[in-house]
Chains A and B, each alone.
Chain A
Amino acid sequence: MNKWYENPGDDSDVVLSTHVSLSRNLDGVPFPARMSLSDRRAVWDRIRSAAQRRNSSVSGRFAAIGLEDVSELEAVSFAERGLISADAVSRRTGGGLLMTADESLSAEVNGEDHLLIRAQAAGLCMEKVYAAADGLDTFFGHTLPISFDPQLGFLTQNPFRLGTGMIVSLRLHLPALRRSGSLRRISRNLSKLGLSLHGVHGPEAEPLGAVYRLVNRVTLGISEREAIANLSSMAGQIIDRERELQKTFAADLGFQDTVWRDLGILRNARLLSYREFMERAGEIRAGIVAGLVRGIGIVGLDSLAVRVRPATLALENGCPCLSEKGKELRARLVRGMLSPQREDSDGTGKKG
C-alpha cells in the first residue's frame, strides 16, 4: 500500500501536504507532564483497547505501537514522518502510537496531551484531512471520557490549544517568494491575523529547501470550519503570489543555472547529507514546476524527501544507528531516482 506522501495531491506545485491535529485528554487523569508511569501505561491501554475493540467503526484499521518497545532511531523516524512529536522521542516510556497502514491517520498517546489525533495528505485538501481527523475524534468521543468544558472547549495541557484543540498546517514550497525577499514581511502580516509562517526544520532564517509551514495559532473562540476557511483564504493568496513570481523567475538565467547545477550534483554525488539534499532538491522542484526539468515527477521527488530523512533512511536500509554510511546510502538512492534514464511522469499535479 502506498504511503500518503507517495500519492499525488491538488495544487502540489506549491502545497506539499496538509496536516490537521486535534488535542484531546481523558477526564480524571493528570495531563502528561504530571502523569505517573502507571497513569501513562493505563491511558495507553485504554486508548489502544478502544481503537482495537472488535466490531467498532475503526477496528482493524490501526496498528498499535508501544513507544517503549521501539528504539530511539525508530522513534525519530516516526517523528520525521509526522507521526509523533519530537518531545515524545525522548519520553517514550508509556507512550504510544496508533497508525493506519498508509500513515495518513494516526494518534499519538501521552505526548503533549493524552491523545493527539493527526491526519495528513499530499497537496491541498483541508476538508478531506479535517474530516478524517474529525471522524476518529468522534469515535473516541463516544468511547472515552474526553475532557471538555462548555466555556473553554477541549481542555489541554497547554492553554494555547484550548477550544477546538485543532492545529491545521500546510507545508508550502515557496522558492520564488524566498528569492523575492518578501517572506519576512508576509510572515509579520500573517502573524497579525493569528497565523504563522515559518520554516519546517527549526528557527532558521533561511528554511531548508524553501519549505515553509503555514499554521493557525488561535483555537479558542473560532470554530473548526472558520479556522479552516481563514487558513484556506490566506493560503490561496500565498499560492497565487508564488505562482506569479515563479513565472518571472523561470526565464532568469541565474535560476536556470542553479537548477541544472543542482540536478547535476544530485545525479552524480557519492556522499550526500540530508541538508544538502533538501537545498538542492528544493531548487530542482522549482525547476520541475517551471517546466525546465522533465522526466522527474514532483510526487517522486517529495516522497524521496521523506525517504532520505536520516533516521528513516537508516531504518529502511537495516542500519541500527545513524552513521556516515547514511550519506553514501542517500547519494545512491537519490542517483537511482533522479537518473536521466528513469522516466517518471507523474506530472506536477497542478490543478486546472
Chain B
Amino acid sequence: MLCQYCGKNPAVIRVKTILDGFPSDFSLCAECAGRLGYGNLLIVMGAGLQDVPEDLLFGEGGDPAPLRCGGCGSSFADIVRTGTVGCAECYRTFADQLAPLIRRIHGGVTHRGKTAGESLPRTMPRGELSVMHRRLREAIESENFEQAAVLRDRIRKLEDGGR
C-alpha cells in the first residue's frame, strides 16, 4: 500500500483519525509520518505494517531465550514489532538497544525542562521560579488561598535549594 499523503513511498504505519463521524485510519510512509509528527519506533527501525521476523533482529534461528523486561515481560523483539515500549522498566532493561534509536529520533540529547516527583533533584532555573511567583500572585488575586499556600511552600523549598 502506498502512503496516503505523498502517494509515492510504501506505507509503514497506520494512524487513527476521526473522519465524517467514524474512527478510521490512514497509512503513511516513514518520511511523511516523521514529517507530519506521527513518528513511532517502526519508522526508525525501517519496519512496519507487517511483522518483523525475529531472525532478522537476532540472526538466523532467533534467540531461544531472549532477554525479557522484568516489568512487563516484553522482549526487545516485541518492542520492535509493535513500535511501542512496554513499560518504564523497558527503558532500563533495553537501554543499550534503545539508545541508538532514541539518538536517531532526538539527536542524542539529555532531557531539559520540568522534572517529576518531589524526591528527585530539582534544578529549576530562575525562569521557572518567576513563573511560580506569578502563579502565586494570580492565586492570591483570585482568592484561591489553598493553592497559594501550596505554591508559597514550594517556592520557599526551591529557594532554599531544593531541601
Contacts and interface: CB of A to CB of B under 8 A. Distances in A.
Interface stretch (B48-56, B59-67, B99-107, B155-163): B99-107
Nearest to B118: A142
Contacts of A80: 18, 21
A67 to B, nearest CB: 13
A57 B146 contact: yes
B91 interface: yes
Contact of A150 (B21, B121, B135): B121
A264 B147 CA distance: 52
A196 interface: yes
Interface stretch (A5-13, A198-206, A289-297, A344-352): A198-206
Nearest to A155: B88
B16 to A, nearest CB: 4
A76 B102 contact: no
B88 A27 contact: yes
A259 B19 CA distance: 26
B105 A159 contact: yes
Nearest to B113: A223
Contact of A85 (B16, B20, B150): B16
A76 B113 contact: no
Interface residues of A, number: 75
Contacts of B120: 148, 150
Nearest to B106: A220
Nearest to B16: A86
Nearest to A190: B35
Interface string A144-159: 0111111111111111
B113 A164 contact: yes
A108 interface: no
B146 A155 contact: no
Contacts of A89: 16, 18, 23
Contact of B102 (A27, A142, A152, A226): A152
Contacts of A217: 34, 37, 39
Contacts of B98: 159
Contacts of A183: none
A201 B87 contact: no
B106 A86 contact: no
A220 B109 contact: yes
A152 B103 CA distance: 11
A162 B40 CA distance: 11
Contacts of B111: 149-153, 162-164, 220-221
Given A76-B21, A76-B22, A223-B113, A203 B36 contact: yes
A43 to B, nearest CB: 12
Interface stretch (A97-105, A118-126, A306-314, A333-341): A306-314
Given A149-B88, A218-B107, 12 more contacts: A34-B74, A131-B135, A150-B121, A152-B111, A159-B41, A163-B111, A202-B19, A202-B26, A203-B3, A220-B109, A221-B106, A273-B20
Interface of A: 24-25, 27-31, 33-34, 55, 57, 73, 76, 79-80, 85-87, 89-90, 131, 134-135, 137, 141-142, 145-160, 162-164, 166-167, 187, 191, 196, 198, 201-203, 205, 215, 217-226, 273-275, 309-311, 314, 322, 326
6 residue pairs, one from A and one from B, having the closest CB atoms: A310-B21, A221-B109, A153-B111, A223-B113, A148-B116, A203-B5
